[in-house]
Amino acid sequence: MKKILVTGGTGYIGSHTAIELIKNGYEVLIIDDLSNSTIDVLDRIEKLSGKRPVFEQFKLRDSAKVDDFFEDYDIDAVIHFAAYKAVGESVQFPMKYYKNNLVSLANVLDAMKENNVSGIVFSSSCTVYGQPDVLPVTEDTPIKPAESPYGRTKQIGEEMLQDQTVADTNLKAIALRYFNPVGAHESGENGESPTGVPNNLMPFITQTAIGMRDELKVFGTDYNTVDGTAVRDYIHVVDLAKAHVKAVERLIESKSDKQYEVFNLGTGNGFSVKQVIDSFVKSTGVELNYSYAPRRDGDIEQTYASTTKANDVLGWKAEKTLDEMTSSAWKWEQYLLSLK
């Protein structure tokens, strides 16, 4: 059984990916510092997949602990999620993001080389494109100066991977540039549960709907979009998790065309913030208290993916609708309420 290290594996996307990996016959090992997740996520992964992952809690910036972990386990490939990810916070605290996101990746790549681990899937982001001149965004869309330190860490992370594949001819890397993950497991028993005030739209919507937040602020009403609010390509987290399984298979089965590959992961459709709100109200029957506010620093107007390469080369396609995304997120929020 192939062993896959999932860094940040108790996080939102990491935990869903761990479930899909186990369902597909992989053994999952998780490193997470629990800075934006909780230990009970392991219980949920075990319940929904039938198997509990190996887990160790520490910061990947601790190179000695990273080295020890790789020496203790015979790892076949790595999926690297672990990173801070709030755009607004990164504008306020850029050094926090550079130290965490880049040193962690460097330590993982060093340990991989030292222990002859030859494949890594990197959690990248559509933020590397900035505000694109032409839509939809393809993998050949020019990389623009990042709009935030968070986006810049993803750009630099990709450059680190490219440089390492040149230096280490045994290494193969796949960067998955995903758009906006939302939704929850179909059971309603695993989803996005950030500590503190959410930075992402969907958990803020669901927390507002249950009265945990006074209201949802919609940042920006004067964008050149269908209704003036920002447009994103929202993708269901389970679809996204399945793409990581496809990428791991591609590495392990040596199907990669070259040492470093990039794939956009999205639905190919752009939805505005207002359209997401409308979908939530429609799919759940729950009204939402929201108001409009000025634009935020670091936000871009609109972006959505071309999915041709992911469909044709990676053999993956997003399947779930926006209504399925919003309704599953609400099911998860209700599940959390039932635990209190």
Catalytic site positions: 150
Give the type of residue at 9: G
Are residues 44 and 189 in contact, defined by beta-carbon separation less than 8 angstroms? yes
Q: How far apart are CA 122 and CA 109, in angstroms?
A: 11
Stated length of the chain: 340
Q: Which residues contact 295 (CB under 8 A, 6 or more apart)?
A: 219, 220, 222, 223
Are residues 309 and 273 in contact, defined by beta-carbon separation less than 8 angstroms? no
The angle formed by the CA atoms of residues 203, 205 and 207, to the nearest 5 degrees, is 65
Are residues 185 and 48 in contact, defined by beta-carbon separation less than 8 angstroms? yes
Are residues 75 and 3 in contact, defined by beta-carbon separation less than 8 angstroms? yes
Q: How far apart are CA 247 and CA 243, in angstroms?
A: 6
Strand 172-178, strand 260-265: pairing: parallel
Question: Mapping DSSP to helix (H, G, I), strand (E, B) and coil, where does residue 12 land?
Answer: helix
Q: How far apart are CA 228 and CA 20, in angstroms?
A: 37
Distances (CA, A) of 262 to 63, 116, 125, 222, 257: 27, 22, 11, 33, 11
